[in-house]
Structure 1
């Protein structure tokens, strides 16, 4: 049986948790949403990650807390997926409710609106056509704004693999969109 922690150790554990884990909550939720594709599952994954991080924070050396937490999340996610059957239909609410990647001005023409709607539809279609390993990297880096190293830690792959997958994902999305939509968007 584990030895009970004394009050000083418990206080140190809480302080370490506040210092290393709490500042990363927003990132953890965004990455969990990307990994699970569902808000409720993302909250469950984040909660389980926080519990595991709290238990392990006493052994954490204090270097690279985000990478440490994302590694815990990746392992937790893999363990949770092993316990359940895979989904057959992905949840694309995030794609459908996301704002277009291009900045919107206050005075928009009808043509701009049509182009943005078409681009939004084509972009969602292009992303959903990607293999899941490319789609995950694209979401982690381009949507959740993680660094290559953080995405690599989350997925448990080398940084070079992340860079390669991201390049391929972006290329496939560009090919799916085609030159017409990109040229018309640049001219407006």
Structure 2
């Protein structure tokens, strides 16, 4: 689970492996402070914080789009609504869905990746992103609406970004 999420947060599998390793080392060092509840959320929080710290250290690399491989991952809508998998199931090509995902703003792509692709709950996605659950829900709603609009009219989402 950690590697899958780390892979979505980083630019390469090697960076994801390093991120997971750093996360587990930090978790091992802090095991004495862990109360024994919500281990998954605890690890995801450490992963998020470790990733944030790593990104701060290498700010110039942020110009690259780190989600370019997002659409190549198998998709599954966690709540049964129009996620990437449902768009493909409607007969749209995988390339159209990938293009729609890549055209989304980063904060929307992150929510779609965590909830619809990784299958995290709203609470878990909120913990990973460091935002309230309501923010995850509203971002996911907006992202799905943009995906639907984009696959029906690809130029609409590109115009929204400009």
TM more than 0.5: yes
Shift of residue 91, structure 1, vs aligned partner: 5.1
Matched, 1:139 2:113: yes
Alignment-derived partner of residue 92 in structure 1: 68
- CA 1:38–1:87 in 2, change beyond 3 Å: closer, same or farther? farther
Matches within 5 A, 1:74-153: 74-84=48-58, 85=60, 86-90=62-66, 92-96=68-72, 98=74, 101=85, 119-153=93-127
Matched, 1:36 2:20: no
SS of corresponding position for 1:61: coil
Alignment-derived partner of residue 173 in structure 1: 147
Distance in 2 separating the partners of 1:168 and 1:97: 21
TM, length-normalised to structure 1: 0.69
SS of corresponding position for 2:85: coil
Shift of residue 90, structure 1, vs aligned partner: 3.5
Structure 1: 5+ residue runs without aligned partners? 1-26, 103-111, 180-188
Alignment-derived partner of residue 160 in structure 1: 134
| Residue-pair matches, total | 142
Alignment-derived partner of residue 80 in structure 2: none
Distance in 2 separating the partners of 1:32 and 1:146: 13
Shift of residue 170, structure 1, vs aligned partner: 0.6
Alignment-derived partner of residue 28 in structure 2: 54
Shift of residue 31, structure 1, vs aligned partner: 0.9
* Residues 6-52 of structure 1: per-residue CA shift (max 9 Å, x gap): xxxxxxxxxxxxxxxxxxxxx11111111114211111111100000
Q: CA RMSD in A?
A: 2.3
Structure 2: 5+ residue runs without aligned partners? 76-83, 154-162
Tell me, yes or no, if the aligned pair for 1:38 and 1:91 is still in contact at 8 Å. Answer: no
Bigger radius of gyration: 1
